[in-house]
Amino acid sequence: MKTEQQYFEEGIPLGKYLDGMETHKENSRKVYEGFKLPQGDEFIELLKEKKPHILVITEDWCGDAMMNNPILLHIAEAADLEARVVYRDADTELIDRWLTNGGRSIPVYLLLDEAGEVLVKWGPRAPQLQEFVMEQKNSLPPKEDPSFEEKQKSMYASMMEQNTTNGDFWLWVYEDIRKTFMAALQKQD
């Protein structure tokens, strides 16, 4: 059984992964170009000091990954960290270790220390986004309703548009990654 560190070593650099995307490449580029890291953040300084690695479990068809991965790339670039990608569906052994509520939800970010030990898991969504998604899903009619499929398709299109353009969503993601990673790194001291 491979370790998370071995998956990391075999992974694709996050920037290269984003450049090679097929499904949501343009939307990811829009998020990357639109998101600006908060300046003077102690989080980035802490990352520079601790030098963790980040293992990303993702797929390029995922709308959450489309938004979250460019934000993570900004963090990694600012802190001069390595973030590497493994595809969830290529080897499900890894994602099956890191299920979210029993499901293979992505993206998942694993913060690894220098020895390759997992310090913390983040993903697939910031809590505010999870709440938003659940509100959207709860507003759908029952599956038996003849309009369900059409309304679900419309909901997903709207959520994709929001993920691609809503700066508040991006900040929620950043803040939750920041909070989660900082707490794990500060425990090391």
| 103 is a domain residue | yes
Residue 96 lies in a domain: yes
**Strands 108-112, 118-122: parallel, antiparallel or unpaired by DSSP?**
antiparallel
Residue 40: the pLDDT is 81
User: In the prediction, which pLDDT does 189 show?
Assistant: 63
Residue 132 domain-assigned?
A: no
Kindly tell me the number of DSSP H helices and DSSP E strands found in the chain.
Answer: 9, 5
Give tens-digit pLDDT for 55-69. Answer: 999 999 999 999 999
Instruction: Classify strands 108-112 and 83-87 as parallel, antiparallel or unpaired.
Output: unpaired
9 assigned to some structural domain: yes
In a domain, residue 159? The reply is: no
CATH number at residue 33: 3.40.30.10
List of the chain residues with pLDDT < 70: 189
Domain presence at residue 78: yes
- Decide if 131 is inside a domain: no
Global pTM? 0.93
Sign, CA torsion 5/28/181/49? positive
How many structural domains are present in the chain?
1
Containing structural domain, residue 32: 4-126+167-187
| Domain assignment present for 148 | no
